[in-house]
Structure 1
Amino acid sequence: MKRKGTDRDQEAKALIQKVYERYNGVYGYRQIQLFLLQDHGVWMNHKKVLRIMQDLRIRSRIRRKHRCNYATSEGDRVAKNILKRDFKADAPNQKWVTDITQYRVGEKWLYLSAIKDLFNNEIIAYQMSARNDNELALRTVQQAWTQQKDVTGLIVHSDQGCK
């Protein structure tokens, strides 16, 4: 005979609620399952954790990724887009594009600044640094400028990046 009015998962619900509140509601059912085992030594199937969280109407808080607001206020410098997505060049040293990329190496970040000639998609200059600053970009441009000959009518294009 089935028992009515009793909740088999009452202890599990209380434990899940406790873990959820301990971590300020940040984590979802997968992490809650791990914390149940890690903090309380209780192994529970992830589907059961999900079902109980749905019954309790608790969910993880979604952390939004940082979005860049590009030069929107007055006084910000915005260069005109002369390139207009025309990434082809008829001769060398007509159009250069540049960007800075970050790489995690062990516990540190390294920043790579590179300049590419759109004529043959060749990297003509690059610099690496532990700091992402204007000096890194300027050193890269200086290296490209000293290595290349016959640079007239050059367009150098860079994305505006985040502030």
Structure 2
Amino acid sequence: MRDPYAAAYVAGAVGTGALGLLVSVRNASLGHPPPYAARHIARQVLSRLLRRRMSRHEASRWAFALRAGYGPLLGMGWGLVRRRTSKWTLLQSGVLLGLGVLAFERAAFPIFKATALANTWSRAEHVWLFAQTAVFGIVTEATMRWLVKEETSATA
């Protein structure tokens, strides 16, 4: 891919897709969606913004839209800073991205009042948030490497 921003956008979208596959496993493992499930965040934040309670169906639709925008934007942000980690292993670089997303979300959730307070979450919910951000990071970084490798091979 010639445009590095397009590659980063695609990588973030692929990472989001992988996360989408993990969500059903996460919810089954927990026995319920966690407080940071996209539909809960959509319902919390958008209900306040729209000044009306959103239905579960509306929240699910908005959750899809939020994920569709959020993941690719995170990928683009990563594309701007990842050159510093290009010599690292995939796992190191991907987990670093995941930790960055985790730190951002842990800071943003209370600011936007998007979730219940983190001290009310179960240990398993904390573990799953780490796991899902790590999966997003690793898959996003793997996709970036594949796209950049493809471009490097094509120009060599």
TM range, smaller chain: under 0.3
Q: Tell me which protein shows more helix as a share of its residues.
A: 2
Bigger Cα Rg: 1
Question: By percentage of residues, which structure has more strand?
Answer: 1
- Which structure has the higher relative contact order (CA within 8 Å, separation 6+)? 2
